[in-house]
Structure 1
């Protein structure tokens, strides 16, 4: 028989957390001023320590948005013409890609998928082709 479960998590009210974030901003600003005056090295960047504070420090661009920006979007008819395919099934949603649908063409393997499907694939952190597991983009 298992004993009682004890959780030792300290829960702080949101105003207290915001106050600590404010102190971190003040510390960062003071370090930045000292850095520009040459009195110390550059300050450490402000990064959230856990997920819920991510909205206080918005990222400029995520890795998934960088990948999506570099992958080409074409209409299926032009994709089919260049690849000499007559029909294509999106292996992510398992539905057929029809004429007029937008297809995102991958950089390494040249496989194609619905734009919405591959965007969701990339948004969850996957960086390989769902079909052949090649990297989505060529290496630098």
Structure 2
């Protein structure tokens, strides 16, 4: 038995969208003129800021920097000796980890990734291993 597919997308005709865009420009122009006359503050930009969804925390200590401080950075040669592996592929960037690269070893599962790759992984708010989904650090 098939499930009927329904889409609830509102499609506006192009003239209606152009009208709303025109109203936005008029609002911007009026705000700009009133700003120059000293009647109000500067107008908001017309283009949306893509960082609105980001969580802004004080620069001193963020959760990602706390996690990165607790994850050990080692040379790949040392990591390979301890884990008895000859080659390692970073599943984040999908490239080989060479002998001169720095590797971050995760606290729970002991998987290793390029330090820069796992740093970016943590910076976007992920707190699990990209390979096995175990938490990056042991729970206290």
2:100: which partner in 1? 100
Superposition map of 1:1-140 within 5 A: 2=12, 4=16, 16=41, 58-140=58-140
Greater Rg, structure 1 or structure 2? Answer: 2
Runs of 4+ residues deviating >6 angstroms? 9-13
Distance 1:87 1:99 in 2: 9
| Aligned-pair CA distance for 1:16 | 4.3
- Distance (whole Å) between structure 2 residues aligned to residue 115 and residue 59 of structure 1: 21
Could you tell me the TM-score, scaled by structure 1's length?
0.62
Unaligned runs of 5+ in 1: 18-49
Instruction: Identify unmatched segments of 5+ residues in structure 2.
Output: 1-10, 43-51
TM-score, normalised on structure 2?
A: 0.62
**Distance in 1 between residues matched to 2:133 and 2:98, nearest whole Å:** 24
Number of aligned residue pairs: 104
